[in-house]
Amino acid sequence: MDRRLFVSDLARYAALCAVVPNVWRVTSRPRFADDPFQLGVASGDPTPSGGVLWTRLAPRPLEPEGGMNGLRTTVTWELADDEVFTKIVKKGTATAAPELSYSVHVNLEGLASDRWYFYRFMSGGATSKIGRFRTAPASGATTPLAFAVASCQHWEQGHFTALGHLAREEIDLVTHLGDYIYEYAGNSRNVRTHVGLEIRTVDDYRRRYAQYKSDPLLQAAHERCPWVVTWDDHEVDNNYAGLMGENGMESVEQMRQRRAAGYQAWWEHQPVRVPRVQSWADLSITRTIDWGALARFWVMDTRQFRDDQACNDGTQAICDTARDPKRGMLGAAQEQWLVNGLGASQAKWQVLAQQVMMAPYDAAPGDDVRVSMDQWSGYPVARDRLLNEVARRAANRTVVITGDIHTNWVNEIRSDFARPDRPVVAAEFVATSISSGGNGSDVPTARLDAMKRENPHLKWFENRRGYIKCTVDTTTWKADYRSVPFVDKPDAPIATASSWRVEHGRPGIVAG
């Protein structure tokens, strides 16, 4: 380039920079009021060649904008082979901006498959904690998998003690099935207290995530390994269905705005990829995660696309509305995506990572039937339609992992629950909550026996807090139910309350 042209262009660029508003300027040397990495780090959605790294700058997490005061700043990240970062594999910079609550999502590519790495973030002289990330095995590999199933962590109802134990497990992955936060107003009579009233705006949801993310045990669990996350209802509003709120007092447009706020804040605080969507209210989180040729995780959304609960919600007799074949849990597009995928997938195990219990639970003795309208039992035609497809396309190589219900369950899944003689085609392992529901209680043997008489597909039930540790290879799926005796105070011990096993290609679940 001619020197005079170069100098002229340089002057024009300098003049342009001079008129850029401060709000759009990016600084690489920020000054923070406090540690900007107080919400920790996380990784997720591993592939054979990459995944997602996450953090959010928030020097004053519960203040507006996390105490960033409109500061748009660069964040450096590093990925290394070793924990002391002498062998850096990749590094780069990202911009933390107010439009996305100063969250940072790094999309990693070009890594070796089936490998552990270490990562960290830096900004303004501050350095985050170190997280561990691993890539998935190569597409044809059948590398064994150890992972945890968790859900439902109500801040107010208990300490996240189970997550502290989870952070010390030898696992490759965590699947979190929703209710990561709760939207309720603070109640000072609980174990811990939410900040603020019931949340409705994007800033409300951001502050609530910041409060939850401040928990050191939750941070430790995220640092341990990558997570695969989905949402349930409390990320927006209890028991919402599509654009229908819990109490029906909000208009469709109001619920759309609330859903957009909840979905955006969820994405800003989770290690998931950048969304491609025209509106936050329509954010799609359905996706597959492959663990080589061993397992394919179908990450499902049973909230955004479902029809409203029938029969006035709650647990009650099934009304005619619930039996309407037009009503669904997944919506037509998601249901077809899942059904077609189950038939095409060559993975040894098909894993349905979803929110509400698929097996029915009859809570009434004798000939009466009372089931939850919020679970799959409130959508019996859609449930049995899906299970018939499981029977046809992926029988006895399908495992359903479920959250939501705050108790542990082991259920055999039949192809049609309207006909008890139909064969077992899948297993369902339902994980209790991390803290929701408080301490829980012991279940008398007589009660468990009565539950099994009404629900012969039920193998085991427990009312404690904790998570499931699953160990999977080509022939066997083992589920260890890890439980703590209390959450109303810290430092509860953990124990394996029960263990169950599924053999690939064989119907049924056996103890041990």
- Cα maximum dimension of the chain: 93
Buried/exposed code over 259-276 (b: 16+ C-beta within 10 A; e: otherwise): bbbbbbbbbbbbbbeeee
- For the chain, the straight-line distance linking the first and the last C-alpha, in angstroms and rounded, comes to 75
Q: What is the pLDDT of residue 420?
A: 79
Which three-class secondary structure state does DSSP give residue 128?
Answer: coil
* Residues counted in the chain: 512
| Mode of pairing for the β-strands spanning 458-462 and 88-96 | unpaired
- Do residues 53 and 41 touch, judged by C-beta distance below 8 A? yes
Nearest Cα to 226, choosing from 155, 282, 297? 297
| Mode of pairing for the β-strands spanning 398-402 and 424-430 | parallel
80-89, 196-205, 274-283: range with lowest mean pLDDT: 274-283
Q: How far apart are CA 448 and CA 428, in angstroms?
A: 18
Q: What digits encode the pLDDT tens for the residues 61-97?
A: 999 999 999 999 999 999 999 999 999 999 999 999 9
Q: How far apart are CA 67 and CA 60, in angstroms?
A: 5
- Do residues 397 and 350 touch, judged by C-beta distance below 8 A? yes
Please report the DSSP string for 52-112 in residue order. Answer: EEEEE--SSTTSGGGG-TT-EEEEEEEEESSTT-SSEEEEEEEEE-GGGTTEEEEEE-SPP
Q: How far apart are CA 75 and CA 77, in angstroms?
A: 7
Q: Evaluate if residue 2 carries a pLDDT over 80.
A: no
Q: How far apart are CA 178 and CA 405, in angstroms?
A: 11
What mean pLDDT is predicted for residues 275-301?
95
Long-range contacts: 306-311, Cβ < 8 Å, 24+?
306/241, 306/242, 306/330, 306/331, 306/379, 307/241, 307/242, 307/379, 308/241, 308/242, 308/244, 309/239, 309/241, 309/373, 309/374, 309/378, 310/373, 310/378, 311/373, 311/378
What mean pLDDT is predicted for residues 414-428?
91
DSSP state of 150: E
Q: What are the φ/ψ torsions at residue 317 (nearest 5 degrees)? A: -65, 150
DSSP state of 466: E
Q: How far apart are CA 141 and CA 291, in angstroms?
A: 8
- Kindly list the structural domains of the chain, giving each domain's residue range(s) and its CATH number in brackets, ordered by start: 21-135 (2.60.40.380), 138-511 (3.60.21.70)
Q: Where are the beta strands (DSSP E) in 320-423?
A: 349-353, 371-372, 398-402, 408-414
Q: What is the pLDDT of residue 23?
A: 55
pLDDT classification of 9: cutoffs 50, 70, 90: very low
Q: What is the pLDDT of residue 337?
A: 97
Q: How many CB atoms lie within 10 A of CB 423?
A: 13
Long-range contacts: 9-14, Cβ < 8 Å, 24+?
none
Find the helix or strand (DSSP H, E) in which 498 lies.
Answer: strand 495-503
Find the helix or strand (DSSP H, E) in which 479 lies.
Answer: strand 476-484
| Mode of pairing for the β-strands spanning 315-316 and 173-176 | unpaired
What mean pLDDT is predicted for residues 266-277?
91
Q: Evaluate if residue 6 carries a pLDDT over 60.
A: no
Q: How far apart are CA 51 and CA 273, in angstroms?
A: 8
DSSP state of 24: G
Q: How many CB atoms lie within 10 A of CB 156?
A: 19
Q: What pTM was estimated for this model as a whole?
A: 0.94
| Mode of pairing for the β-strands spanning 126-127 and 116-123 | antiparallel
Q: What are the φ/ψ torsions at residue 29 (nearest 5 degrees)? A: -130, 65
Find the helix or strand (DSSP H, E) in which 309 lies.
Answer: none
Q: What digits encode the pLDDT tens for the residues 252-266?
A: 999 999 999 999 999
Helices (H) and strands (E) in the chain, counts: 8, 25
Q: Evaluate if residue 328 carries a pLDDT over 60.
A: yes
Q: Average per-residue pLDDT in the chain?
A: 94
Q: How far apart are CA 434 and CA 157, in angstroms?
A: 10
